[in-house]
Amino acid sequence: MTFLSIIMQITRAIFWDTHYESIHWDKNASYVVDRVLHYGTLNDWHQVLAYYGREKIKSIATHLRYLDKRVLNYCAAFFNTPKEQFRCYNTEPSVQQLWNS
């Protein structure tokens, strides 16, 4: 698949706060992967895997400051990596959610 065919298949709505055509897919890889993990479809996930590759996505995911619990569990299982190796697992959020108190 070509770069253009991969990018054209990613759901534009997950980048609601960004001008889609101005996204620099290599410089902003962390942003793209984060959005696809949290808001993307299964097809978006496959497109991102095809473009960035498994190792780059694993590296990005393990260094993200926040992953919701569902996404963290999926990534840990998909990459066969203990949750403790993810930055978000070992970092307390600066603002505690009210419903968790």
What pLDDT score does 73 carry? Answer: 96
Axis-axis angle for helices 54-63, 42-52 (nearest 10): 110
pLDDT of residue 100: 58
Amino acid 36 reads V
pLDDT at position 47, please? 93
Instruction: Give first-to-last CA distance, the chain, whole Å.
Output: 48
Q: What pLDDT, on the 0 to 100 scale, is given for residue 90? A: 81
Would you write out the chain's pLDDT as a tens digit for each of its 101 residues? 666 777 778 999 999 999 988 889 999 999 999 999 999 999 999 999 999 999 999 999 999 999 999 999 999 999 999 999 999 988 766 666 666 55
